[in-house]
Amino acid sequence: MVIFCCPKCYYQDMDRIDKILMPVMAKKGLGGAAVAAQICFYASEYGKGSFVATSFSKGVLKLSCADSIDAGEVQMMSEEIITHVNEKIGREIVSRIRIVNSS
């Protein structure tokens, strides 16, 4: 079991794993699913509990919020979320956010 000394080390290791894993998954025909999972991970990481990324398809990132207050905050932050995720992925892939109920 690997224990990380701090969150920074965890994310650096995740980036290294990504560089190895993504090409392998692409060769197996799973590149799209892997990128979608990566996008959801980075979005949820950014949300810090105010939302959970549920899916990504065709440029649309779906986020689930616990209540209408969180949904309003997420709506106001949508451009920041899109920018963060696109920067982490390294390309302009997320174009829009859709907020869905968590009920």
Q: Is the pLDDT of residue 95 over 80?
A: yes
pTM: predicted TM-score of the whole model, two decimal places: 0.73
Nearest Cα neighbor of 99 from 79, 80, 75, 76 is: 75
Confidence of residue 1 (pLDDT cuts 50, 70, 90): very low
List the beta bridge partners of residue 56.
Answer: 61
Of 30, 24, 38, the closest CA to residue 88 belongs to 38
Domain locations in the chain as residue ranges: 7-101
Superfamily of domain 7-101: DnaA, N-terminal domain (3.30.300.180)
**pLDDT tens-digit series, residues 7-65:** 555 555 666 666 666 666 555 555 568 889 889 999 999 988 889 999 999 999 999 99
Q: Where are the beta strands (DSSP E) in 1-103?
A: 52-57, 60-65, 96-101
